[in-house]
Structure formats: C-alpha cells, structure tokens
Structure 1
Amino acid sequence: MPSSVPRGSAGGSASDSANESAKDIVEIERALTRVAHMLTRTRQHDRFVAEAGVPVERAAVPLLRTLAEADAPMRPSELAARLAVEAPHVTRQIQRLERVGYVRRVPDPGDGRAYRVELSDAGLEAFECIRAAGRRWVAGALAEWSPGEREQLAGLVHRMLDDFEAHRDRLDAAAARRTG
C-alpha cells in the first residue's frame, strides 16, 4: 500500500509538504546545491591552494578554519563535532597537518591523558593565505555587484545559516526526546 507521507518527510503536516514543493524553496535548494558543489570541487580547491601557495588537502581547510577561529586549543572530539565528521577523520587530518608543521598538540589542562590541538604560526599563515585567495575569488566573481548588494547577500546568507543551525538543533533535540 503506498504511503501518504511525502518522500523525504518524516510524517510532516500538509503545510510541510506544501513548503517542500513551493517554487521558492525548490529554487533555494537548487541554488544551495550548486554553490556547495562548486565550492567543494577538487578543481576549485586546487585553484585556491595553488594561488595561495599552500599545499593542503581539501579536507584540511575546514579544520584549519575552525582552529583559526577558535578562542583556544580544541580537543579532536570538539573539532569532529563542530565539523560534523567522524573523529578518525579529524585524527588523520591532525596527523597530516602536524607532519607539515601547521598544527601542534598541547596538553589538555583538564585531563592529563588527553590533548588539544592548536594552529602553529605556520598553520595560521597558511590558512590566512588560503582565506585571502578565497576572498580574491569571491571579489572577482562579484565584481559587478554593488557594495550594497554584497552587504545584503552577506546578511541574508548569515541569517539563512543561523536559521539552518537553529532548525537542525530543534530537530536534534526532538530526536533526542524521542530516543531518550
């Protein structure tokens, strides 16, 4: 017997179904998919790191960014949670970045058996070079946009991401209530 629940829905209401198929939602999802694909392609990454002169793997860049923006050294488990990846993935990246001198392990002050990770000066410099290459790329791509249009886009993207994170947190809390 066919289900009356729309595909991809977890028993949502009729208004949820209508929202999922609304033309604006379809176009937003389509645009986000295109952006994610473009920004995560190997060729794009290779262009950034070549321009930056920093030979790092694509998977290492979010880890470098997270450490650069952190207020203090982080445990690998914190990095994995923040990046929404498995801990072994972070451990491998830390080992690779440590070998090239971009990160270092420091003792965890709260647990003598554990360690935290921080950027070295070379790691911060490498990340800043990658960030600058990315900013130059964005500036070039949006060169025909007015400063006001770019400001409006930045505000809307930040608002969207804040709303996405809040929605994710609500769904995670609801799932935890159902299982806990």
Structure 2
Amino acid sequence: MTTPDSDSLLAEQLLRLTRRVHRIQKHHLERSGLGVTPAQARLLRTLAHCDSPPRMADLAERLEVVPRAVTTLVDGLEGSGKVRRVPDPTNRRVIRIELTEDGRKALRQLRGARMSAAEEILDPLTDLERQVLSGLLDALVDGTPERTPKHGQGQRQGQEQGRGQGQGHNC
C-alpha cells in the first residue's frame, strides 16, 4: 500500500533519475565529438524509425514539440550535413526531411554513446534487477498496469504482443 509520502518520494526519485540520465547522456554525446545536441540526436533517432522521409509537421508531432523547434533542429543538422530537405514527390510545396549518409554514420556513433551511457547508469544493478526495472518501466511508460493485486502483491500478467519492440513508424 502506498501513501502520499511514498508516492511523493517515488516521483522525486524518478525526476532525479531522469536528470541523471540526461546529464550522463549529454556527457557521452559531448565525448563522441559529433557536435550533436541531445535534441538533435533525438530527431535523428526519430528519422531513423520513419518508413519514409517525414514532413516537418510530422516530426514536430512525433517529438511533441512546436514546429518552430523542429525547424531549428533541422537547420543545425542540415548545416552539418546529417539531414537534407527534399521535395515531396507528389506535392512539391511539401518539404520532407531525410537522413544523409553522414546522418546514418552519426546515428551509429550516437548508438555507441547511448550504450555507454546506459552501461554507466545500469552498472549498479544485477541482471535480475535490470529485468524487474525493465518491466516496471514498461508499465509506467505505457500507463497501463500489468499487475493484478493478489494477497497484497502484484502479479505480472503476460506482455502484449509487439510491446517494447522497435517497430517501424510511418511518421
């Protein structure tokens, strides 16, 4: 049974962990020497999961930011040769954003930096603790409880098919 105090403590721990994750990822990004900000890295990762080059509005929606923020990010990435603006083949007034070869190369390096950051963050945990944390984070991210109360404890139900897998996105 949780209390308001324990929920408040959990919320504070989650916020502190989020700040630590951002700090460590930023440090690893800086060490990579790519000259990519965390927000630009997120945009590159989003592009990599799109089935076809998205419109700026699609990126803004996926990133949950205002379109102007995407324009600024794309300007920076385009200036460094990691993305390019291309006209839509069916409507030349529509501009789409696609990864360049330099962008794909940067993504591979970014994955390495992210893996290093993840290893640093998760280092104190055992394999079992990592599995438990993964299940708990899935439940929190999805916002749907996967447990049914049984004798004061939660019992894990089967995971939904396809959950947690990096499925392609239309963008």
Moved over 3 A (4+): none
- Count of paired positions: 143
* TM-score where L is the length of structure 1: 0.69
Pick the structure with greater CA Rg: 1
C-alpha displacement of 1:44: 4.9
Q: Percent of counterpart pairs with the same letter?
A: 34
Cα distance in 2 for partners of 1:118, 1:24 equals 46
**Pairing of 1:79-158 with structure 2 (within 5 A):** 79-158=59-138
Task: Give the SS at the match of 2:92.
Answer: strand
C-alpha displacement of 1:106: 2.2
Task: Give the SS at the match of 2:54.
Answer: coil
Of stretches 78-87 and 122-131 in structure 1, the one that deviates more from structure 2 is 122-131
Q: Which has the higher contact order (CA 8 A, sep 6+)?
A: 2
- For residues 92-120 of structure 1, the C-alpha deviation after alignment (integer angstroms, 9 at most, x for no partner) is 11011011110112222443211111211
- For residues 42-69 of structure 1, the C-alpha deviation after alignment (integer angstroms, 9 at most, x for no partner) is x751x21233231112321211111122
Unpaired segments ≥5 residues, structure 2:
145-171
Cα distance in 2 for partners of 1:51, 1:61 equals 14
- For residues 105-147 of structure 1, the C-alpha deviation after alignment (integer angstroms, 9 at most, x for no partner) is 2222443211111211211221221221121122133224222
C-alpha displacement of 1:162: 1.3
Unpaired segments ≥5 residues, structure 1:
1-18, 165-180
**Partner of residue 28, structure 2:** 48
CA gap of 1:140–1:37, structure 2 versus 1, over 3 A, is closer
* TM-score where L is the length of structure 2: 0.73
Task: Give the SS at the match of 1:111.
Answer: coil
Which has the larger share of helix?
1
